[in-house]
Amino acid sequence: MSESEGAGAGDLLKAGAASLIVSLVLVGGFAGAGFLLGGKLPKAPPEELTLHDARAFYKAQPRYLRPLPYSETPAGLANLRAETCGPCHNEIYEEWRVSTHARAWEDDAQFQEELKKGKHTPGKDTTWICANCHTPLENQLPFLVAGLVDGKRDQPRYLKNPNHDARLQLEAVTCATCHVRDGVVLGPYGNTKAPHPVRKAPELLEASLCTQCHQAKAHLDDIALACVFDTGLEWKEGPAAQRGETCQHCHMPEVERPLMPGFPKRKTRRHWFGGSLIPKHPKFEAELKEVRKHYDDGVTLRWVELPEQVRAGQELELRFAAKNEHAGHHVPSGDPERFLLLRAEVRVGETVLASREERIGAVYEWEPVKKVSDNRLAAGEERTWSLKFAAPAEGGELKLVLVASKHRISQENFDYHHLEGRYVAGREYLREERALPLR
């Protein structure tokens, strides 16, 4: 495996490939994860920086370069943590708790490996950028950025955050990300008798709530980082948006229930945010099994116009088709490392007569950033392939097999980061076997 393959970062923000090997050796305790997790400041700031400087700096940045603004704790609540909402909104809390949103920080071993890359020169650091979507509240950051040395985005000037809440940081994309602004809880109704202030927030029902993180495209050439998340645009230009189906429509299925035991039933939405439903850690497999019952996989796989039977010795062409039937955007979407493997196979007994495997995904080069190829399936798109072979001379039956799997990360990069036992590369989601009589 080449160095640049190993460096394939797991995200829209791809770290410069060549620096990886060096950084793994030299990163020490300097920049990177230890620091973001609340370690020591990497370098004494040259001058006294204030909270005011940090907020002024962030104000001038695009969304992906700044956290969500600081909010006071709403009156009646002890703090902003999900664990505080949990005892009252127990069902919603239990759903969110198993979602990838809740696993977007320490539970994501690949993410933590990417953070560790840090930068090879002391003080060089782009990890502050990652935190803005994975731990999006200002109160979740142990250090804030109050400026850049010589305007360089890999030389942030840090300030210790006086409002940092370490427990809240661990909750990653937590309730308050979507629900708390200016000390008020935002909700879809706005007229409930809650023990905390509420405000009706129509913005909760819009795709833009999600695309602030799920649509991010930028090339930061100065620091060799590239954002290539296009889920929002794929959705906007696809049939689901035409039908008026937002991200929430598919990812937060509707259900009637009380917001809290003892309260009236209302129209609510599930908070699992199910997507690929590949667990972030092998130990999360059991809880996701339940969640999968409520979600479709995006791409279906089937044989096309299969004959009832075939003649022995006949030359055959069997066709199979994949269709992005259920997603409102390309599949795979989001992280550019994602791909599907679709396999069709014809066997007699254990002998394989014909087989074909298709990889569905994009391929990138990272230095400089270039999309090499992209055969992902757009929403609603169908593609067919065929298998050609001669049926055996004797009767009996052919066995036809279809297998589909989805992957977050290639096996090479999985091995490179030593993720065995603490991350899951992918999962098989469809396996179908059927017999075709030979006459």
Q: Which of residues 161-220 bind ligand HEC (CB under 6 A)?
A: 173, 175-179, 185, 187-196, 198, 204-205, 207, 209-214, 216
Task: Report the distance separating Cα 292 and Cα 270, nearest Å.
Answer: 13
From the list 51-59, 132-140, 281-289, 315-323, the region that binds ligand HEC by CB under 6 A is 132-140
Taking CB under 6 A as the rule, does residue 326 contact ligand HEC?
A: yes
CB 225 within 8 A of CB 16: yes
Least Cα distance to 348 among 384, 316, 303 occurs for 316
Identified binder of ligand HEC from the candidate list 19, 132, 139, 140, rule CB under 6 A: 132
Q: Pattern of binders to ligand HEC over 27-66, x per CB under 6 A?
A: -------------------------------------x--
From the list 28-36, 125-133, 347-355, 364-372, the region that binds ligand HEC by CB under 6 A is 125-133
Q: Which amino acid is at 366?
A: W
CB of 355 to ligand HEC, least distance (A): 23
CB of 61 to ligand HEC, least distance (A): 11
Taking CB under 6 A as the rule, does residue 297 contact ligand HEC?
A: yes
Task: Report the distance separating Cα 383 and Cα 325, nearest Å.
Answer: 12
Identified binder of ligand HEC from the candidate list 8, 275, 361, 426, rule CB under 6 A: 275
Taking CB under 6 A as the rule, does residue 134 contact ligand HEC?
A: yes
Taking CB under 6 A as the rule, does residue 416 contact ligand HEC?
A: no
Residue whose C-beta lies closest to ligand HEC: 187
Rounded to 5 degrees, φ, ψ at 407 are: -135, 140
Nearer to ligand HEC, 23 or 132 (CB): 132
Task: Report the distance separating Cα 171 and Cα 183, nearest Å.
Answer: 19
CB 360 within 8 A of CB 299: yes
Nearer to ligand HEC, 247 or 438 (CB): 247
Nearer to ligand HEC, 418 or 439 (CB): 418
Q: Which amino acid is at 143?
A: F
The tokens describing 182, both together, are 């200016």
Taking CB under 6 A as the rule, does residue 98 contact ligand HEC?
A: no
Identified binder of ligand HEC from the candidate list 27, 77, 144, 342, rule CB under 6 A: 77
Identified binder of ligand HEC from the candidate list 7, 17, 20, 130, rule CB under 6 A: 130
Identified binder of ligand HEC from the candidate list 170, 224, 331, 400, rule CB under 6 A: 331
Size of the site for ligand HEC (CB under 6 A): 98
Taking CB under 6 A as the rule, does residue 376 contact ligand HEC?
A: no
> Buried b vs exposed e over 248-260: b needs ≥16 C-beta within 10 Å?
bbbbbeeeeeebb
CB of 356 to ligand HEC, least distance (A): 21
CB 172 within 8 A of CB 135: yes
CB 269 within 8 A of CB 250: no
Prior bond to 368 cis, omega within 30?
A: yes
CB of 299 to ligand HEC, least distance (A): 6
The residues in 388-407 that bind ligand HEC, with binding defined as CB under 6 A, are 406
Identified binder of ligand HEC from the candidate list 13, 146, 346, 400, rule CB under 6 A: 13
The tokens describing 209, both together, are 């709530």
The tokens describing 435, both together, are 């017999």
CB of 380 to ligand HEC, least distance (A): 10
What is each CA distance from 305 to 323, 384, 385, 388, 395, in whole angstroms?
15, 12, 13, 15, 21
Nearer to ligand HEC, 147 or 328 (CB): 328
The residues in 231-270 that bind ligand HEC, with binding defined as CB under 6 A, are 231-232, 235, 240, 245, 247-252, 259-260, 263-264, 266, 268-269
CB of 402 to ligand HEC, least distance (A): 15
Sign of the dihedral defined by the CA atoms of residues 421, 423, 429, 435, in that order: negative
Task: Report the distance separating Cα 258 and Cα 271, nearest Å.
Answer: 14
How many CB atoms within 10 Å of residue 213?
A: 21
Q: Which residues contact 69 (CB under 8 A, 6 or more apart)?
A: 55, 58, 138, 181
Q: Which amino acid is at 199?
A: R
